[in-house]
Amino acid sequence: MDRNQRPRSILESLGEELIAILTPVSICMFTVVLLVCVLNSDPSSSSASFSSIATAAYSETDSDSSWDKFVGAFLNSLVFVAAITIATFVLVLLFYLRCVKFLKFYMGFSAFIVLGNLGGEILVLLIDRFRLPIDSITFLILLFNFSVVGVLAVFMSRFSILITQSYLVLIGVLVAYFFTLLPEWTTWVLLVALAIYDIAAVLLPVGPLRLLVEMAISRDEDIPALVYEARPVIRNDSSLVQRRVWRERRSSQNDIENATQDDARVVRAEAEEGLVAATRERSEISVPLINQAENSETFLEGIGLGSSGAIKLGLGDFIFYSVLVGRAAMYDLMTVYACYLAIIAGLGITLMLLSVYQKALPALPVSIMLGVVFYFLARLLLEVFVVQCSSNLVMF
Partner 1 sequence: MTIAAGIGYALVALGPSLSLFVSVVSKKPFLILTLLSSTLVWLVSLIVLSGLWRPFLPLKANVRWPYALLVISSVCFQEALRFLFWKVYKRLEDVLDSFADRISRPRLFLTDKLQIALAGGLGHGVAHAVFFCLSLLTPAFGPATFYVDRCSKVPFFLISAIIALAFVTIHTFSMVIAFEGYAKGNKVDQVIVPVIHLAAGMLTLVNFASEGCVIGVPLLYVLASLTLVHCGKMVWQRLIESRNQSSPSR
Catalytic option among 62, 68, 198, 263:
198
- In this chain, which stretch among 14-22, 73-81, 201-209, 230-238 interacts with partner 1, using CB under 8 A? 14-22
Nearest distance in Å: CB 332, partner 1: 7
Q: Which of residues 310-339 bind partner 1 (CB under 8 A)?
A: 332-334, 337-338
- In this chain, which stretch among 112-120, 145-153, 178-186, 382-390 interacts with partner 1, using CB under 8 A? 382-390
Q: Given candidates 4, 8, 138, 206, which one binds partner 1 under the rule CB under 8 A?
A: 8
Q: CB–CB of 203/210 below 8 Å?
A: yes
* Residue with Cβ nearer partner 1 (6 or 101): 6
Interaction of residue 385 with partner 1, rule CB under 8 A: yes
Give the bridge partners for 228, in sequence order.
313
Give the bridge partners for 312, in sequence order.
229
DSSP string, 40-83: HS-GGGTT----SGGGSS----TTS-HHHHHHHHHHHHHHHHHH
Nearest distance in Å: CB 69, partner 1: 25
Buried b (16+ CB within 10 A) or exposed e, 150-168: bbbbbbeeebebeebbebb
Is residue 198 part of the annotated active site? The answer reads yes
* Residue with Cβ nearer partner 1 (123 or 290): 290
Residue (of 87, 88, 362, 82) closest to 208 by Cα position: 88
- In this chain, which stretch among 42-50, 146-154, 200-208, 386-394 interacts with partner 1, using CB under 8 A? 386-394
Q: Given candidates 14, 79, 83, 122, which one binds partner 1 under the rule CB under 8 A?
A: 14
Interaction of residue 130 with partner 1, rule CB under 8 A: no
Q: CB–CB of 94/216 below 8 Å?
A: no
Nearest distance in Å: CB 14, partner 1: 4
Q: Which of residues 231-290 bind partner 1 (CB under 8 A)?
A: 284, 286, 288-289
For residue 159, give the 3-state DSSP assignment.
Answer: coil
Q: Which of residues 22-41 bind partner 1 (CB under 8 A)?
A: 22
Interaction of residue 10 with partner 1, rule CB under 8 A: yes
For residue 229, give the 3-state DSSP assignment.
Answer: strand
Residue (of 50, 339, 323) closest to 194 by Cα position: 323
Interaction of residue 374 with partner 1, rule CB under 8 A: yes
Nearest distance in Å: CB 132, partner 1: 17
Element (H, E) at 385: helix 383-391
Nearest distance in Å: CB 17, partner 1: 8
Q: Where are the alpha helices (DSSP H) in 180-220?
A: 184-203, 208-219
Q: Given candidates 19, 93, 124, 162, which one binds partner 1 under the rule CB under 8 A?
A: 19
Interaction of residue 369 with partner 1, rule CB under 8 A: no
Interaction of residue 64 with partner 1, rule CB under 8 A: no
Interaction of residue 9 with partner 1, rule CB under 8 A: yes
Q: What is the DSSP letter of 7?
A: P
Q: CB–CB of 222/307 below 8 Å?
A: yes
DSSP string, 323-382: HHHHHHHTT-HHHHHHHHHHHHHHHHHHHHHHHHH-S---SHHHHHHHHHHHHHHIIIII
* Residue with Cβ nearer partner 1 (52 or 295): 295
Q: Given candidates 4, 63, 136, 291, which one binds partner 1 under the rule CB under 8 A?
A: 291
The vertex-344 CA angle with 246 and 11, nearest 5°, equals 65
Catalytic option among 68, 220, 317, 332:
317
Buried b (16+ CB within 10 A) or exposed e, 321-358: bbbbbbbbbbeeeebbebbbebbbebbbebbebbbeeb
Catalytic residues: 198, 317
Q: Which residues bind partner 1 (CB under 8 A)?
A: 6-16, 18-19, 22, 284, 286, 288-289, 291, 293, 332-334, 337-338, 341-342, 344-345, 348, 374, 377-378, 381-382, 384-396
